[in-house]
Structure 1
Amino acid sequence: MLPAKDRKDRESKRPLGRNKEIYNKVLHDWLDIVRAADQLGCWGISTIEHHLHTEGYEVGPNPGILNAWWASHVKNARVGALGYVMATQDPIRVAEECAILDHITKGKFFVGVARGYQSRWANILGQANDSVAAVSRYIGGKDDIKNRDIFEERMEMLLKR
């Protein structure tokens, strides 16, 4: 978590990646949490895919990199990505990354996928796919339907062997 005394202090440190010392501390503090979770017998530890965040709770935009790092520091816990936002991803690259992670972790990797609901980054990274965020207040609207169609198409591709 972002080391801050209170909300005002946390807001003054946004975005998290702007200060390399703080970001490095957060990354390594998370590793301490991962190790502790493993020692306590937790089944699994996961991270998320989010981009362009300023809240200070997200560690990184690429869960696979963190999962590979964390896996090298745990004995029993599984590591996972929950999840890759398929409307902004190439499904072949996601499949390749997951396969490599499964090998690196010796079968301890798990994965989830998502449609992407945060417009501040899903709309930017989804441009190449003509996709926008699946914002709950627009459920059933044309953008939501398009996002779901892209998600389902990519899931079909991802699940092919």
Structure 2
Amino acid sequence: MGTDDGVRFGAFVFTSRYAGQSPGEVLARGVEVARIAEWTGFDDVWVTEHHFMPFGVNPSALTFAGYLLGRTERVRVGTAVTVLPLHSPVHVAEQAALLDHLSGGRFELGVGRAQPVVDYEVLGRGVEYWKRGLPEALDLTLTALRGPVSANSELYRFREVTPQPGPGVSGPVPVALAANSAASVELAASRGVPMLLFFDKGIEDKAAMIAEHAHFAGKAGQPETGYRHAMALFAHVTEDEDEARQVMRRAAGEFVRASEQYQLLLDVPQRIAKDTPAEEVIEGLTESALATHPVGSPDTCAERLAEQVRGSGCSRVLLQVELAGDPDVVRTNVRRLGEEVLPKARALLG
């Protein structure tokens, strides 16, 4: 098992919907993944938030996290992420504190702003909150998790209130920020919170971002070290190379199709150029994952995990365990990761 001082391994429940699956089946699979992860030695479970996309059927990270906290007893449950500028930051803080109290301190709040998609038009107060709302929303959330909070700005204005139920026995709920750019690295560092780094980052990129975080933290008067940064990785256990490739290609294909469904409100740079052929993107994602992520035999997966942790400097790992889509295969994958891979990875990491 991981400890608060060692590397923590978590199951990342994406609630990814594959062809022929109903939303209810996908959500039930996610609950089962969380329970199996707890039984087999994972330390954490993380959940996502997606809106208006058939591929991701969970529109409320906080609600799903609360349900999973009620269905588990030991694992910590976190959001990766709650799309903070879409929601009232004070209400997010209140809900986070509530989950922490109810679970005995097992909740962690991961936040970010995601893409400038139609969600900001339908659920939020406009794309302006995507453009410049995250820093203030983060500040209000951090303040509200500690005690009284008020605001008087162009984006947020309200009199002082004291959010309830307030900090838990162990203090305010831990917060982490999704970081994809120099600006988000600096924001996390200046507020003294760790980063969540996602699948598109290589080992060297993650290490460089953590070094930047230390630099910016020092400039802001925050501690430069001691942060438990987290990273997301694809994870699938199999001795069959053909199966590994097939699983990754299918997952990459679903990712590409989901990306094409984004309803962007702004023309912003994308990680993948719009004119890149889909098959080229799928092949590139597949080869990258097969080369560096924990996909393959138990020994290969354990070695890749150790390499990623040592090379990046991250001490928390979010493993996307639902790549296969098929419930039986996913269940087997989670069990094998927990029982065969994680003990080996922990031994390699000492």
Per the normalisation by structure 1, the TM-score is: 0.71
**Residue 118 of structure 1: how far off its partner (Å):** 5.2
User: Which residue of 140, 149, 154 maps to 1:157?
Assistant: 140
Answering whether residue 68 of structure 2 is matched by residue 76 of structure 1, we say: no
What's the counterpart of residue 127 of structure 2?
131
**Residue 79 of structure 1: how far off its partner (Å):** 0.8
Max Rg structure: 2
Determine if contact 1:87/1:116 at 8 Å carries over to the other structure: no
Letter in 2 for 1:50: H
User: Which residue of 54, 60, 63 maps to 1:62?
Assistant: 60
Describe the SS at the equivalent of 1:119. coil
Describe the SS at the equivalent of 2:78. strand
Encode CA deviations 1:11-52: one digit per residue, 9 max, x unaligned: xx5xx7xxxxx2222222211111111111111111111111
Per the normalisation by structure 2, the TM-score is: 0.35
Hey, what's the Cα distance between the residues in 2 that align with 1:98 and 1:3? 27
Structure 1 consecutive aligned stretches of length 4 or more whose deviation exceeds 3 Å: 1-4
User: Structure 2, unaligned stretches of length 5 or more?
Assistant: 1-14, 147-350
What's the counterpart of residue 138 of structure 1?
none
What's the counterpart of residue 51 of structure 2?
51
**Residue 97 of structure 1: how far off its partner (Å):** 0.5
Determine if contact 1:67/1:81 at 8 Å carries over to the other structure: yes
Larger proportion of helix: 1
Count of matched residue positions in the alignment of Structure 1 and Structure 2: 130
What's the counterpart of residue 136 of structure 1?
none
Alignment of structure 1 residues 10-159 onto 2, 5 Å = 10=19, 22-55=22-55, 58-117=56-115, 119-126=117-124, 128=125, 130-131=126-127, 147-159=130-142
Encode CA deviations 1:34-77: one digit per residue, 9 max, x unaligned: 1111111111111111111112xx24111121112111222221
What's the counterpart of residue 289 of structure 2?
none
User: Structure 1, unaligned stretches of length 5 or more?
Assistant: 5-9, 17-21, 133-145
Hey, what's the Cα distance between the residues in 1 that align with 2:86 and 2:23? 25
Encode CA deviations 1:123-157: one digit per residue, 9 max, x unaligned: 4333x2x325xxxxxxxxxxxxx635210011111
- Structure 1 vs Structure 2 CA RMSD: 2.1
Describe the SS at the equivalent of 1:26. helix
